[in-house]
Structure 1
Amino acid sequence: MNQAWVFGDTDASLPSELLLQILSYLDAVSLLCAGCVNRRFYHLANDNFIWIRIFSTAFSPKRSNWKVNSVEKTAMSMKLLSVGDKEAGYWKKEYITKQIASVKAALARILKPLHPYTGLPIKTKEALRMSGLGWVIILKGNSGEEYIMEHVDLSINDSSVTAVWYGRDWPRLATLSTLDLCGVTPVFMDRSKTPTKNGPRWQSLIARFNLSHLARSPELGCDGRIRTFCLPPGLVVGLWKREEELAFVMANLHFHHLVERSTFGSAAVPYELPPHTPVLDDSPERGLRGYQLHVDMHSGGVFCLCGTFRNLFTSKEYIENEYMKLSVISFKNNTEHLPLIGKVGLSWKTNVFDGCIKNCSIMDLTLLEEYGKPFWCFSSPVRMRASPVPRHGPPFPGETYRVEHADAEGRVHVQLVRIPHSSEYFIVSLALYLPVAKVNRWFGTDY
């Protein structure tokens, strides 16, 4: 039970000295809650003498013997002497800052081991559970008001996380300007307990999206009730057809640097990836070689494609319009052609209805370069569109379709054929187009 709430309306008659004595028995979380009771409790709960005790208990060096060396003793004495000189709340801020730093250090240790085949941290799912990491969206109105929403559904896929928000109390779309996607992490992490949403949390901005022209943007797909739109990177927004108002929001987050992006930024500034140090290519004349691709297509926890392709390569001859083409599945080699399992569709639900947008899904792509490091990663909605029969490919028995994705890191082009009798889709071509400028930056080359 939270002891801070037992006072009720009687606190006005209690002297501050007695209240401070009572507050001194609280732990950090209860003390922070006590500071929310009223203005008087807020000032009392900022007391530096209480917080330096909590700080010292949590972060003083732990020793196995009874002796404390003179340096540690002198440092603690200086802290105690300076307590009265600090502004109220100083040691509370120091404690919270130190707690956040310790959580980040623990997460960095967990994420250090990398998987030899995916190049991604082996223990991403463990880090998500241990940290209590979650995601919120912050809808900002044209007049400055904010609406914060916790995710309702969360699914953890092989290489991505899908978070979904829906409800009855969406603000009107016309009154909104932006949507902030943020990771939220408890300040206090106790590995022996399951993390909860109670208590203080810090926010890390992942991306900011403009909603002002959403309804006029190109559609991702629609059904009888919903129109969906894609806002890069990886956000799906569903609008009710009849009212043109928000129905749901779906964020697709690739595992690559996911924990860092969701915890190491601030509420206003996203986390910046560490600068890449070029890995010198010992034989650039041979082009790109030894690349590995893992690609999934899924929705609602159901996968229609899960493929890994190794030893991919290309040469300087395949540079076109400042892109290097990396061929994964070829038109001409039918032994490489892959089927999509089941029906392709983007599942959605709200607290009232659910449905499926045909010919749409989520694509997760992880491309590793020759040294096993992630070169290009994304998780994004994609749409299957009708496409003319390729001029340079063999004749196919059914209708042809294409799936495309493009961002600053590259382009994906997938060609599919629908078999008339079975209604199955086969991937007959898959190619990646990598910007020459990025390849040159990555390897210190000059293609």
Structure 2
Amino acid sequence: MAAARGSAPLQYGREAAPAPAGLGRLCSFTPVAASRSGRAAGLRNMSQSFAAGSKKYSETVNADSLCWTPSINSKPSVCIENMPSEMLIKVFSYLDAVSLLHVACVNKRFYQLASDNGIWLKMYFSCFPAKRRIWKNEFLQMETVPSSCAVVEDRKPGYWKKEYILKQIAAVKTRVMQLVKPVDPCTGLPCKNQKAIKASGLSWIIVLKDKNGKEHVMEKAHLSFKHTSVSIFWHGTGWPCLDVLSTLKLFGVIPLLPDQSTAPSKNGPRRRSLIAEYSLSHLTESSVAVGSDNLVQLFSLNPGLVVGLWKGSNEIAFVTVSLHYHQLLERSALGSATVQYVLPPDKPVLDDIDPEYGLHDYDLHLDMHSEKHTYMCGTFRSLFCRKGDIENGYLKLTVVSLKDNTKHIPLIGTVGLSWETAAFKGIVKDCYMMDVTVLDETQKPFWCFSAPVCMELSSKVSNLYDYMGHIYITDYADSEACPVTKIINCSGYKTGLF
């Protein structure tokens, strides 16, 4: 029996499985016994051999069989973030400026690589070629241009990125300022504002901030251009409740890198310019109620803002703002996200006439309108103010005399402020947008505003036989002046008097 055990191969009911190719002596073993203890000893010896040897194969062993299963080595994942910096810079060099700014927002490493001076220097000189200086004499002709290598090495990282962006902004500003140079002789305002707004990619947004500090941005707006102002309407859905809101900010938004060939994208890099900030706390108590109809109630905040609330609730239906054209582009583009653009102060013109004569040669352009309707538009020239009419820094200008019928201007249609939402629309009667433009004797804007106002029925009755109708009065006041407009109803139509 002993000789038989030593000469015969060990079998467990079938032939012994051959060792996998390539394992060599590591996988060979000699069974010591057919008993349970012998099999256990053999398995221990084999496991020790595998632990000391190669780990290319793993084993699964049970009491009845032996098999070898190849282990799966996890390969390192191929990811763009694992690429060498030199290769990433080469990839980034094929991107345009807007795409580079997007890539810089991925992580810190991409931000540093996307700010590479070599990439932005090439882009800078492709858009703004360097001026060459040439010296000539009869012996030598020399042409000098900046050395790219020296320029890149001497600058801090991100220098040429900043220079490129500033140069693009300056180029757009120059192009826009050229468009607003032509002036309308009647209003003294730029006559190509609409083209300038389109060329710069300018748009407007409102940001509603609640009491917890969360901001709600309203992007989509409808524009209505008039003679001296632009009205902007936001009437989307998803307005936050008025009770939780604290402020409303109006911003002008302009693309950081505007492209005339494509429409500006709201997902692209943009700059904000703060135009106005309004407090919405206690809106119904602190603001002026302009008017109402069966569905909405309108509240006005200076300058030029209208908030429409659904009747019986504190839910916002729409928001409208009217912006006067005077220095509109500067206010919408030259401020920052936190600071408004400061208008240059008006310098009074020195009068070479006797000061007792007072102020003279003022012009007024008055525009009364709603979204789609213009109720009155007229220009009144050669206005003056006597010295006795100047009090506490304010002057009184009488635009139209009640007795001078030749200067009376009729109103067209029924006065009302139109509004619209996603599901409803209507008109609030006896309300309108009033644009006032006062020019000094040099025909430069002296006082300008655009604001929502309402007409109120006066208790006074006209004593003129030609005007036996009701008298309506429009009052408006801001920090600079307080105009009063009188509207007299006469034989079915209304005539505007100032």
TM over 0.5: yes
Mapped pair 1:352 → 2:423: yes
Mapped pair 1:253 → 2:323: yes
Q: SS in structure 1 opposite 2:337? A: coil
Deviation at 1:135, TM superposition (A): 0.4
Deviation at 1:151, TM superposition (A): 3.8
Please name the residue that 1:187 is paired with.
Answer: 256
Mapped pair 1:73 → 2:143: no
TM-score, length-scaled by structure 2: 0.77
Mapped pair 1:367 → 2:442: no
Please name the residue that 1:161 is paired with.
Answer: 230
Change (3 A) 1:100 1:322: closer
Mapped pair 1:224 → 2:294: yes
Q: SS in structure 2 opposite 1:328? A: coil
Contact 2:199/2:260 (8 A) holds in 1: yes
**Counterpart Cα distance in 1 of 2:180 and 2:174:** 10
Deviation at 1:30, TM superposition (A): 1.4
**Counterpart Cα distance in 1 of 2:347 and 2:406:** 39
Contact 1:103/1:187 (8 A) holds in 2: no
- Which of 171, 178, 184 is the equivalent residue of 1:102? 171
Contact 1:331/1:394 (8 A) holds in 2: no
- One-letter amino acid of the structure 2 residue matched with residue 58 of structure 1: C
Deviation at 1:117, TM superposition (A): 2.9
**Counterpart Cα distance in 1 of 2:111 and 2:424:** 44
- Which of 303, 307, 317 is the equivalent residue of 2:374? 303
Please name the residue that 1:3 is paired with.
Answer: none
Deviation at 1:334, TM superposition (A): 2.9
- One-letter amino acid of the structure 1 residue matched with residue 152 of structure 2: L
4+ residue segments displaced more than 4 Å: 37-40, 62-65, 192-196, 390-395
Deviation at 1:19, TM superposition (A): 2.3
Deviation at 1:139, TM superposition (A): 1.1
Deviation at 1:47, TM superposition (A): 2.9
Q: SS in structure 2 opposite 1:99? A: helix
Contact 1:112/1:121 (8 A) holds in 2: yes
Please name the residue that 1:324 is paired with.
Answer: 395
**Counterpart Cα distance in 2 of 1:278 and 1:304:** 33
**Counterpart Cα distance in 1 of 2:100 and 2:438:** 48
Deviation at 1:376, TM superposition (A): 0.9
Please name the residue that 2:313 is paired with.
Answer: 243
**Counterpart Cα distance in 2 of 1:324 and 1:393:** 27
Q: How many residues are paired up?
A: 413
- One-letter amino acid of the structure 2 residue matched with residue 302 of structure 1: H
**Counterpart Cα distance in 1 of 2:221 and 2:80:** 38
Please name the residue that 1:281 is paired with.
Answer: 351
- Structure with more relative contact order (C-alpha pairs < 8 Å, separation 6 or more): 1
- Which of 123, 134, 156 is the equivalent residue of 1:54? 123
Structure 1: 5+ residue runs without aligned partners?
A: 1-8, 431-447
Please name the residue that 1:269 is paired with.
Answer: 339
Change (3 A) 1:273 1:417: same
Change (3 A) 1:320 1:388: farther
Which deviates the most, 279-288 or 390-399? 390-399
Cα distance per residue 1:311-361 (max 9 Å; x no partner): 222222333565322111112223332221001111011112111111000
Structure 2: 5+ residue runs without aligned partners?
A: 1-77, 135-140
**Counterpart Cα distance in 1 of 2:367 and 2:201:** 26
Deviation at 1:62, TM superposition (A): 5.1
Please name the residue that 2:20 is paired with.
Answer: none
Please name the residue that 1:438 is paired with.
Answer: none
Cα distance per residue 1:67-114 (max 9 Å; x no partner): 9843x425x55421224xx24x44333322332233223322332333
**Counterpart Cα distance in 2 of 1:82 and 1:322:** 57
**Counterpart Cα distance in 2 of 1:399 and 1:116:** 35
Please name the residue that 1:125 is paired with.
Answer: 194
Please name the residue that 2:63 is paired with.
Answer: none
- Which of 384, 394, 409 is the equivalent residue of 1:313? 384
- One-letter amino acid of the structure 1 residue matched with residue 336 of structure 2: S
- One-letter amino acid of the structure 1 residue matched with residue 394 of structure 2: Y
Q: SS in structure 1 opposite 2:399? A: strand
**Counterpart Cα distance in 2 of 1:259 and 1:68:** 44
- Percent identity, aligned pairs only, is 48
Deviation at 1:190, TM superposition (A): 3.2
| Aligned CA-pair RMSD | 2.5
Change (3 A) 1:343 1:195: same
- Which of 338, 356, 374 is the equivalent residue of 2:409? 338
- Which of 361, 369, 376 is the equivalent residue of 2:447? 376
**Counterpart Cα distance in 1 of 2:101 and 2:378:** 49
**Counterpart Cα distance in 2 of 1:222 and 1:63:** 66
Deviation at 1:187, TM superposition (A): 1.5
Please name the residue that 1:114 is paired with.
Answer: 183
Mapped pair 1:31 → 2:104: no
